[in-house]
C-alpha cells in the first residue's frame, strides 16, 4: 500500500541561498522605511487628533489612514519582490455602499482595514523592521568580518595587552594546557570559523525574518476571509434572483404562448366539431369537410404543443445529451446552420447546464431566423480553461444585417438573466451591417 504525504515541501539548502539576494534586498532597507513610516504617520495622525475639535482634524486623520494604506501596500509589494506568495489585498472601493461626498471622503474612518494598516505602519512595522534590520546587519557583519579578518587585521597595530579570544576558549575547554599558538594565527582561525558559521546560517536567518514580516502582513494587511464569503453570498443571491426572474419570465411567456396558440386552436376545434355534429345527418358531405378541417386543426395544435414542450425539458436532452439536442436545433432551423463541435461528443454535463445551453441556442437561432436577414449561421460549441476555471462557450454567428442589442424585457436580456443564474456571461458583438456574433459563456464545475 502506498501513502501520499500532505506535508508542505521544504526548500533545500541550495534553494535557500538562491533567495538570499532578494531577501537581503527586503531586509536591509527596513531601518529607513521604519523611520520614515513612524515619522510620517505619527506626525499626520496626532496632528489630526489634536485638531478634531475644529473638524479639520477629521480630514487630517483620513490623510493619515491613506498614508498608512500606502505604506502597507509598499510592504506587500516588497514581500512579493522577496519571493513570498502574493497576499490578497482588501477591496478598498465598495460601490455597493454608496458614493456620496461624505461617504467617499470619510469612509476610511469606519473601515477596519485602514486602522489595521495604521497600526501596522505606525507601531508594528517599525518595531519588527528595526529588529530584523539589526539582526541582519549583525549576522552579515560577523559573517563577512570573520572570514575576511585576516585581510584587514594587518592594518591594526598589535597590542600585547589585547584580549585573545582563542586563548580564552582554549583555557575554558582545556584547563591547564600549555599550548603555544601564534596569536595572530589563532585569532584569524577562530574568527574565520565563526564567520563561516554565521554565513552558513545566513539563508536560514534571512528566510526566517522574511517569513516573520510575511506572517504579520498576512494577519494585518490581507483581505478578510469574511469579506470574500460575503461577496460570494451576495453574488450567489444575485445569481439566484436572476435565475428566478428568468424562470418567471419564461413561465409568463409560456402562458402567453399557450393562450394565444393552442388554446385558441382548441376553442376553434370545439366549435368545428359542434358544427360537424349538427350537420352530420342533414349534410354529411359538409360534415366530412368540417371533420377534415378539425383533424387538421388537431394536428397543428399537437405540433404547437410539442414545440412549446421543448421549453420545459426536451426529451432529446435526457435521452441523448446536449450535442444531439444542438444538432436537432441546427437541423430544424429555417436558415442553413453549420454546426462546429469543439468538445467530446460523449460529454454529459449537469442537467441545468445542458438545459440552459439548449434554451440559449434555441433562442439565438430563432432570433437569427426572424430578425437578422441572414443566409447562413454558424453554431459553435467548445470548452476552454483559463486561470484554473473550465468554461463552456456557445457561439451563434450569422451573416445578417447586425444591430442586435439587449433591451429590457426582450429576448437577449432574458438570456442574460438565465446565464446569470449559472454565473455565466453573455457577450454580444453586432455592428450595424453585420455580422452578428453572440456568445454564451458558462463556468463548469471541476
Residue 245 burial (10 A CB sphere; 0-12, 13-18, 19+): middle
pLDDT of residue 416: 81
Is 5 part of any domain? no
Peptide bond into 435 cis (omega under 30): yes
Q: Distances from the Cα of 10 to the Cαs of 91, 105, 207, 211, in angstroms? A: 32, 46, 12, 13
pLDDT of residue 2: 39
61 with 207, same domain?
yes
Backbone angles phi, psi at 137, to 5 degrees: -65, -45
State the sign of the Cα–Cα–Cα–Cα dihedral 52, 55, 57, 58: positive
242 with 217, same domain?
no
Residues sharing a CB contact under 8 Å with residue 238, sequence separation 6 or more, in sequence order: 420
73 with 218, same domain?
yes
CATH number of domain containing 385: 3.30.565.10
Is 132 part of any domain? yes
Strands 436-444 and 425-429: what pairing?
Answer: antiparallel
Is 119 part of any domain? yes
265 with 347, same domain?
no
Q: Distances from the Cα of 89 to the Cαs of 93, 123, 180, 222, 409, in angstroms? A: 12, 20, 63, 5, 39
pLDDT of residue 4: 41
Is 232 part of any domain? no
Could you give the CA distance from residue 298 to residue 255 in angstroms, rounded to a whole number? 20
Length of the chain measured in residues: 446
Q: List the domain range (segments joined by +) for residue 418.
A: 315-444
253 with 124, same domain?
no
**pLDDT tens-place string over residues 167-225:** 566 556 667 666 666 566 666 677 778 788 988 999 999 999 999 999 999 998 888 77
| 3-state SS assignment for residue 134 | helix
Residue 364 · residue 398 · CB < 8 Å: no
Is 228 part of any domain? no
Could you give the CA distance from residue 372 to residue 366 in angstroms, rounded to a whole number? 10
pLDDT of residue 47: 92
Start-to-end CA span in the chain (Å) = 28
CA 60 to chain CA centroid, Å, is 35
Give the residue ranges of the chain where pLDDT is below 50.
Answer: 1-8, 95-98, 157, 159-161
Domain final position from 172, 188, 223 = 223
Could you give the CA distance from residue 143 to residue 24 in angstroms, rounded to a whole number? 14
Number of domains in the chain: 3
pLDDT of residue 52: 85
64 with 122, same domain?
yes
| H or E element in which residue 170 lies | helix 165-173
Q: Of 151, 131, 128, 123, whose CA–CA distance to 45 is shortest?
A: 123
pLDDT of residue 170: 59
Is 233 part of any domain? no
85 with 207, same domain?
yes
CA 438 to chain CA centroid, Å, is 24
Is 230 part of any domain? no
195 with 47, same domain?
yes
**pLDDT tens-place string over residues 85-95:** 988 888 777 54
305 with 321, same domain?
no
Strand order across the beta sheet in which 389-398 lies: 337-342, 377-386, 389-398, 436-444, 425-429
State the sign of the Cα–Cα–Cα–Cα dihedral 222, 225, 230, 236: positive
pLDDT of residue 137: 93
Mutual angle of helices 351-367 and 322-332, in 10-degree steps: 10
Residue 75 · residue 34 · CB < 8 Å: no
273 with 418, same domain?
no
192 with 292, same domain?
no
Is 319 part of any domain? yes
432 with 323, same domain?
yes
Amino acid at each position: 500500500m502506498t501513502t501520499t504525504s500532505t506535508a508542505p515541501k521544504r526548500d533545500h539548502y541550495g534553494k535557500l541561498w538562491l533567495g538570499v539576494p532578494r531577501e537581503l534586498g527586503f531586509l536591509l532597507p527596513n531601518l529607513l522605511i521604519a523611520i520614515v513610516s513612524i515619522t510620517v504617520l505619527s506626525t499626520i495622525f496626532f496632528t489630526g487628533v489634536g485638531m478634531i475639535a475644529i473638524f479639520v482634524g477629521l480630514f487630517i486623520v483620513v490623510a493619515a489612514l491613506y498614508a498608512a494604506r500606502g505604506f502597507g501596500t509598499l510592504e506587500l509589494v516588497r514581500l512579493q519582490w522577496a519571493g513570498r506568495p502574493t497576499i490578497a489585498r482588501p477591496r478598498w472601493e465598495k460601490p455597493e455602499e454608496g458614493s456620496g461626498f461624505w461617504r467617499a471622503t470619510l469612509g476610511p474612518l469606519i473601515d477596519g482595514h485602514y486602522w489595521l494598516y495604521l497600526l501596522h505602519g505606525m507601531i508594528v512595522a517599525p518595531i519588527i523592521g528595526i529588529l530584523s534590520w539589526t539582526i541582519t546587519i549583525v549576522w552579515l557583519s560577523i559573517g563577512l568580518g570573520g572570514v575576511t579578518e585576516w585581510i584587514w587585521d594587518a592594518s591594526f597595530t598589535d597590542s600585547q595587552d589585547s584580549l585573545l579570544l582563542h586563548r580564552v576558549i582554549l583555557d575554558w575547554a582545556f584547563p591547564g594546557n600549555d599550548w603555544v599558538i601564534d596569536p595572530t594565527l589563532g585569532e584569524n582561525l577562530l574568527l574565520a570559523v565563526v564567520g563561516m558559521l554565521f554565513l552558513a546560517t545566513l539563508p536560514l536567518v534571512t528566510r526566517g525574518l522574511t517569513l516573520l514580516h510575511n506572517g504579520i502582513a498576512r494577519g494585518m494587511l490581507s483581505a478578510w476571509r469574511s469579506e470574500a464569503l460575503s461577496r460570494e453570498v451576495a453574488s450567489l443571491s444575485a445569481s439566484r434572483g436572476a435565475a428566478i426572474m428568468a424562470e418567471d419570465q419564461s413561465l409568463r411567456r409560456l402562458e402567453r404562448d399557450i393562450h394565444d396558440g393552442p388554446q385558441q386552436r382548441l376553442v376553434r376545434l370545439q366549435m368545428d366539431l359542434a358544427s360537424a355534429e349538427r350537420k352530420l345527418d342533414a349534410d354529411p358531405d359538409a360534415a366530412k369537410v368540417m371533420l377534415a378541417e378539425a383533424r387538421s386543426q388537431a394536428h397543428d395544435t399537437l405540433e404547437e404543443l410539442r414545440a412549446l414542450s421543448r421549453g420545459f425539458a426536451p426529451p432529446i436532452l435526457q435521452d441523448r445529451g446536449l450535442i444531439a439536442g444542438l444538432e436537432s436545433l441546427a437541423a430544424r432551423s429555417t436558415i442553413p446552420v453549420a454546426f462546429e463541435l469543439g468538445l467530446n461528443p460523449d460529454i454529459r454535463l449537469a442537467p441545468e447546464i445542458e438545459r440552459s445551453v439548449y434554451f440559449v441556442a434555441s433562442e439565438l437561432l430563432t432570433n437569427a431566423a426572424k430578425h437578422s436577414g441572414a443566409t447562413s449561421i454558424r453554431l459553435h460549441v467548445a470548452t476552454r480553461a483559463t486561470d484554473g476555471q473550465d468554461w463552456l462557450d456557445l457561439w451563434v454567428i450569422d451573416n445578417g444585417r447586425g444591430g442586435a442589442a439587449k433591451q429590457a424585457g426582450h429576448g437577449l436580456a432574458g438570456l442574460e438573466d438565465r446565464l446569470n443564474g449559472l454565473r455565466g456571461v453573455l457577450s454580444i458583438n453586432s455592428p450595424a451591417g453585420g455580422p452578428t456574433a453572440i456568445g454564451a459563456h458558462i463556468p463548469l464545475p471541476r
